Amino acid sequence: MAAIYKTDLLIIGSGLAGMSAAVFAANRNIRAVVTGGAGGFEYSSGLMDLWGASLTKQYEITKKPWTMLEKLRDQDPDHPLVRIKKETIQQAFLEITTALKHQGLTYSGYEEKNTLVMTPFGTLRPTYRLPSAMRSNSEAVRKKEPCLILDFKGLREFSAVFVREMMKKNWKDLRAKTLEFPDTRLQKEMFTPFLARSLETGQVQDKFLTLIRSAVKDETWLGLPAILGIYSSEKILNLLEAQTGLKIFEIPTSPVSVPGIRLREALVKALENTSVTLLQNQRVTKIIPRPKGEFHCEAGSDINPVAIRADALLLATGRFLGGGLYADRKSIREPLLGLPVYQPENRNQWHSRNYFDPSGHRINRAGVKTDDLLRPVFPDKRPVFKTLFASGTILARQDWVRTRCGAGLSIATGFKAIESYLGLREQPVEI
């Protein structure tokens, strides 16, 4: 017998787009259900980008996201981020970072400009909001005072020597050292989530402190791969700094990424005891639109089926990785509702011959087109359903990887979709 849910809004997808929309819904006391898998969180650096690519100089990054979005308004007025007002995007970031702060995960950054953060490749990359464990990362890069970068035996995602080699030309007092992480002598291979979970315990924190003290010479700064806990990164950072007198910062690592996991865990916690129910790892398999505008949805598996009746839907199912878009040999489809997908005319046009083509690959701009309320539309611009909305990377015309706008796109469109849903719900009923 299927578990049955009846809800006002079903958010399909629990990547950053779906989870942030769920938080916005909870803040407005909207009765909602959110379903889906882990999304891109575990791959993401945990940094929140708004816009990081220059639109004037090919291949360059920018510290001015708002100037670029203003330029984009002329170049591509249909880009989903351009269709949302600056104040609305700012409000969305503020609301989501406030919710995260309440869960002990503080994000900071400038209102008008990006911050440059050191990467595991020894390069600098722009971002709009960064977690507090990475706050001193950009300050260290700016000041270039004596700094020690550590890595750990058996850890493959991060190499301190590589970072030093890449940065030493402009930062002479940068030293790299490899240590054995406490209690891992028998471990041949290690991953950052394992180290982060170990550091949640007081016993390992004490041993880690001793290790750091033995490694530091005359440095005042200490850079680590992102391993400072999953749930208590701020507490662990504060403890280590207070006990060593060092300025400590994390450097994002390649996937699997601890800051991405932290972000997801904090959003999950933010939904506890709210009007939103989270159905983790449940995939919607079928949607049947009903005559009065509501939707009957089936989710789960044969063994554990779930039926959800929702008055409105928010589709935040991501792109190819998440399963929101599907490419066969000839075309790209939206598999759940068969929505029209904006895409190149034929497969030959999906990719440019030059992998590094500064204008990108056209397949990355494929997706679902919407009206100003973020409702998917037919080619003649009519909404497919009155109460179907879409947010995040499933949207057409954005190329978030190239333009570095992943989190900004997901958060801003999630916010706008929830506002649109509320606006429609509160409209007087026609008699």
Site string for ligand FAD, 18-57 (x = CB under 6 A): x----------------xxx-xx--xxx-xxx--------
Name the amino acid, one letter, at 223. Answer: G
Give me the least distance between CB of 328 and ligand FAD, in Å please: 17
When asked if residue 410 is in the footprint of ligand FAD (CB under 6 A), the reply is: yes
Residue 12 or 23: the one with the smaller Cβ distance to ligand FAD is 12
When asked if residue 377 is in the footprint of ligand FAD (CB under 6 A), the reply is: no
For residues 318 and 83, what is the distance between their CA atoms, to the nearest angstrom? 19
When asked if residue 284 is in the footprint of ligand FAD (CB under 6 A), the reply is: yes
Residue 72 or 284: the one with the smaller Cβ distance to ligand FAD is 284
* Range in contact with ligand FAD (rule: CB under 6 A) among 107-115, 116-124, 237-245, 405-413: 405-413
Give me the least distance between CB of 151 and ligand FAD, in Å please: 20
* Range in contact with ligand FAD (rule: CB under 6 A) among 13-21, 73-81, 86-94, 95-103: 13-21
Map tokens 């890595």 to a residue: 151
The residue of the chain with the least Cβ separation from ligand FAD equals 15
| Listed residue (17, 6, 25) closest to 425, CA to CA | 25
Judged by CB under 6 A, the residue of 7, 11, 14, 136 near ligand FAD is 14
When asked if residue 264 is in the footprint of ligand FAD (CB under 6 A), the reply is: no
The answer to whether 226 and 253 are in contact (CB under 8 A) is yes
The answer to whether 420 and 383 are in contact (CB under 8 A) is no
Map tokens 């995602």 to a residue: 157
Helices in 233-383 by DSSP H: which ranges?
Answer: 233-244, 258-270
User: CB under 8 Å, gap of 24 or more: what pairs does 321-327 form?
Assistant: 321/40, 322/13, 322/15, 322/36, 322/37, 322/39, 322/40, 322/393, 323/283, 324/13, 324/392, 324/393, 324/394, 325/366, 325/367, 325/394, 327/363
Residues that bind ligand FAD in the complex, under the rule CB under 6 A: 12-18, 35-37, 39-40, 43-45, 47-49, 255, 283-284, 316-318, 321-324, 336, 392-394, 406-407, 410
